[in-house]
Amino acid sequence: MSGSLFPLYTSGAFGDEIVLFIQLLVGIGFGFALERSGFARSENLVSIFYGRDFRVMRVMFTAILTAMAGLVMLSGAGLMDMGLLYLNETFLWAQLVGGLVLGAGFVVSGYCPGTSLAGAASGRIDALFVIAGVPLGSWIYAELYPLLGAFANSASMGTASLPSWLGAPVWVVAVGVFLFAGGAFLAVGRIERWVRRRFVGTEVPAPGPAPIRINPLKSATHHLLFAAGLIGVVVLGAAYSARTVPADWGRYVGPDEHEHEGKVLPPLGAIELARILVEGSQEIAIIDIREGSKEASVPGSIFVSAGDLTERAAAHELPHVDAYVLVSGDGERVRELAPSLAAHGLYATWLDGGTRAWKKAILSPPRTPEGGVTKDQVALYEERASIHAYFTDAKTAPLKVKASPVLKVAPKKRKGGGCS
Amino acid sequence: MDIAVKEKPYWNPYIAGFFLGLVLLASFLLLGWGLGASGAGSRFGAWLSYLVVPDHTLGLASWSSYFEGGAAPLKDSIVFGAVGVFLGGLIGALTAGRYKVSVGRGPRISVPARFALALLGGTMMGFAARLGRGCTSGQALSGGAELALGSWVFMFAVFGGAYAFAWFVRRQWL
């Protein structure tokens, strides 16, 4: 999968400051598109819920088709690494209830959070009240989280996607979405005509802009775009499906399996942990639970007390990585803590012998093998010397570490983006 | 501050959707994630709350991560994105001759009642977006294009909730 051009940021093309600037530009494009769609005005947004004008659905589904087709085609052409894209995680019940409440809030307020910004920008004073409500609601959620957290995190399915859930290739699902959206476009046109006929001659005005009349030439463009997207998705989607692991496009974890998904991995010796760190081959978090002295800590450790650890795991506040390595002074206390992390669906292991072993094996120079040693012993010595040099800046031997897969873990999870 | 530009028509919804989809795709390709909005509101709330009751705010599990490692909650890409949405909306409204200070409401509702419902609905959405891990932007649109299972559930639930509730607030709009 390496060698893909996109996504640029998560593959390391630029730094954090540039991201903020690009995000600003993307936001401007988003806001402009919302305004040109008519979504800065609440009457254009809510008229869908009274059957008058379905432009919300037309714009939204067309945008989804466009971006989806783009992802399928670019990943099919090998230009996009889906493994690096931030994929939304599924928490089934929270998203079902959250969606219902958000939908109700949408029709009550007349905007959704994104469109309220465009609404306020176009001079709508009521949109300012919607904007004020969003932080208020977030605050209520934060205060009630102790009561809601268990529900909010229930039925967690990881980065489950429609293809991984259905067990179907990405292109098949994408074609299904095209057909579903196309059917919906035809259906809502009929609904609009039917609703408008009912109001002819009555005093109830039909809100929203005039019915859409698309001239035949423009509508030919739509059909052409639709067909091109469909063909591109089939051809390049099939190419994508033929040569990549299905997990690249989300990984389905059943809701009941989740509790068992976490695992206590075999403990790591100091050398094994050092190898992982030197190679940088695994995304791990090293969690040091010592509360007093931080002496001889493993580089890159984060310090979380044993008391806070499970609470933070339950609240999804630990860094998103493949596996967690617990570290204590002697490696005893963490042996008991690892299963409680696994119970929260995480891969957990610990440093055998704790920082004491780390100090002895890594921070002190290895003993030189004496007469009559085998080739293997020499190789081991050289490796230990280079590891020692790496972690102490002793600069004795050139770094030479053999690749050895130590941890068998789930596919990589990425840093959050999107709405979270 | 009306600008003397004759109001331009809205874009054809399919063309507007295509353009919006290209913006979303650009976000995927450049940044590696999609669009978002409600997260900015949540971060703004956390920032305000921290000004008033700092210790209490850091103790709130769903907000404390915004401050992790001494981070400033507003120095996050989603906040810059939200500022961009406002600017983009402003540019769009000005160039189309649609910038107008007004209150959007149906003929049968008073201005104060409209403001109250706007605040109430916004609060419901702020709450729901934390529970559902996103709003129509981050879940329905971005997650929908990624074919994320939970995002599609969310999207249908949004339509379901809105249609179910539309009857109760019909006096606001019709």
Lowest mean pLDDT among A21-25, A237-241, A285-289, B39-43: A237-241
Name chain B contacts of A111, Cβ cutoff 8 Å: 118, 121-122
- Asked if B147 lies within 8 A of A174 by C-beta distance, the reply is yes
Residue A363: is its pLDDT beyond 70? yes
Q: How many helices (H) and strands (E) does chain A have?
A: 15, 5
- Asked if B174 lies within 8 A of A60 by C-beta distance, the reply is no
Residue A195: alpha-carbon gap to chain centroid: 40
pLDDT level of residue A3 (50, 70, 90 thresholds)? low
pLDDT level of residue B166 (50, 70, 90 thresholds)? very high
CA atoms within 13 A on the CB side of A10: 25
The predicted complex's ipTM stands at 0.95
- Please name every residue paired with A350 in a beta bridge, in sequence order, or none if there are none: A326
- How far apart CA B124 and CA A333 sit, in angstroms, is 44
Percent of chain A at pLDDT exceeding 90: 33
B24 contacts chain A (CB < 8 A): yes
- Asked if B123 lies within 8 A of A134 by C-beta distance, the reply is yes
- How far apart CA A327 and CA A390 sit, in angstroms, is 20
CB A97 within 8 A of CB B66: no
Among A304, A272, A294, smallest CA distance to A403 is for A272
Domains of chain A with bracketed CATH: 16-87+159-248 (no CATH), 260-361 (3.40.250.10), 366-402 (no CATH)
CA atoms within 13 A on the CB side of B17: 24
- Higher-confidence residue of A357 and A32: namely A32
Q: Where are the domains of chain B?
A: 1-101, 105-174
Instruction: Give the residue from B12, B47, B87 with the most A CB atoms within 10 Å of its CB, the best one to mutate.
Output: B12
- Within 57-96 of A, beta carbons closer than 8 Å to B belong to 58-68, 70-71, 74, 80, 84-92, 94-96
CB A59 within 8 A of CB B20: yes
Residue B7: alpha-carbon gap to chain centroid: 25
pLDDT value at position A402? 42
pLDDT level of residue A237 (50, 70, 90 thresholds)? confident
* Ramachandran bin of B72, using left for φ above 0, alpha for ψ from -120 to 50, beta for the remaining angles: beta
Mean of the pLDDT values across residues B133-137?
93
Residue A399: is its pLDDT beyond 70? no
Total beta-carbon pairs less than 8 A apart between chain A and chain B: 608
Residue A116: is its pLDDT beyond 90? yes
Residue B1: is its pLDDT beyond 50? no
Percent of chain A at pLDDT exceeding 70: 83
* Ramachandran bin of A416, using left for φ above 0, alpha for ψ from -120 to 50, beta for the remaining angles: beta
pLDDT level of residue A253 (50, 70, 90 thresholds)? low
pLDDT single digits (tens) B29-86 = 999 999 999 999 999 999 999 999 999 999 998 898 899 878 899 999 999 999 999 9
- Within 97-156 of A, beta carbons closer than 8 Å to B belong to 97-127, 129-143, 145-146, 148-149, 152
* Ramachandran bin of A397, using left for φ above 0, alpha for ψ from -120 to 50, beta for the remaining angles: beta
A161 contacts chain B (CB < 8 A): yes
Mean of the pLDDT values across residues B135-164?
96
CB B141 within 8 A of CB B34: yes
Residue A75 tokens, joined: 């990943």
Among the partner residues B77, B123, B159, nearest to A19 by beta-carbon distance: B77
pLDDT value at position B128? 97
- Look up residue A287 and give its DSSP letter: E
Residues found in chain A: 420
The structure tokens 């002819």 sit at A200
Q: Of the segments A64-78, A262-276, A301-315, A343-357, which one has the largest average pLDDT value?
A: A64-78
- Asked if A218 lies within 8 A of B150 by C-beta distance, the reply is no
Contacts of A105 (CB under 8 A, 6+ apart): A137, B120, B121, B122, B123, B124, B125, B127, B128
CB B3 within 8 A of CB B94: yes
Average pLDDT, chain B: 93
Name chain A contacts of B126, Cβ cutoff 8 Å: 113, 133-141
